[in-house]
Amino acid sequence: MREPAASTIDLSREASDLRIATFRLARRMRTQRAVDSMSDGQFAVLAALFVHGPHTLGELADRERVSAPAMNRTVNCLQDSGYLTRSADENDGRKVVIALTDEGRAVVDETARRRDAWVEEALADLSAAERTTLAQAAEIMQRMVAR
């Protein structure tokens, strides 16, 4: 029986270490939010609308990779909380367009501000060389997710 090459073991270990560190960092940043009771899925919908503009329910469901009924429940909750609106599509009255309210935009803005502040505080504890390494890693990670 042949042993795996050392480079394969190293790559596997590196992949696992990166996955775990990325997950832990993301989980820690997700705790920095403007509305504590809002789920990650709910915030993701607000953020998608903030970045990409109004969507139909189906477009949101596709973007977030959930079923239309699941997205409908999320949208209903966010609408009940005053974070988004539904209106008839100007070009096709059968479609409903979902858009952020000013309150929804404020939640996204404040959450982004809190998350940026947390990262800035964490970066302040690092050396200049470590910050440079992380800046390079951020560029590399952006390329990875763009594949």
CATH number at residue 115: 1.10.10.10
Give average pLDDT by consecutive 10-residue segment, the chain, 147 residues.
Answer: 66 93 94 92 96 95 95 96 93 89 97 96 96 96 93
Beta bridge partners of 87: 97
Give domain status of residue 131, yes or no: yes
Whether residue 4 is contained in a domain is answered as no
Q: In angstroms, rounded to a whole number, what is the distance separating the alpha carbons of residues 86 and 97?
A: 5
Q: How far is Cα 91 from Cα 105, in angstroms, rounded to an integer?
A: 25
pLDDT of res. 93? 78
Q: Indicate the pTM of the whole model.
A: 0.81
Domain range enclosing 59: 11-146
On whether residue 3 sits in a domain, the answer given is no
Q: What is the DSSP letter of 52?
A: H
Residue 2 belongs to a domain: no
* 1 part of a folded domain: no
Domains in the chain, number = 1
Residue 5 included in any domain: no
Residue 74 Cα to chain centre, angstroms: 16
CB 107: neighbour CB atoms within 10 A?
Answer: 24
- Whether 32 maps to a domain, the answer reads yes
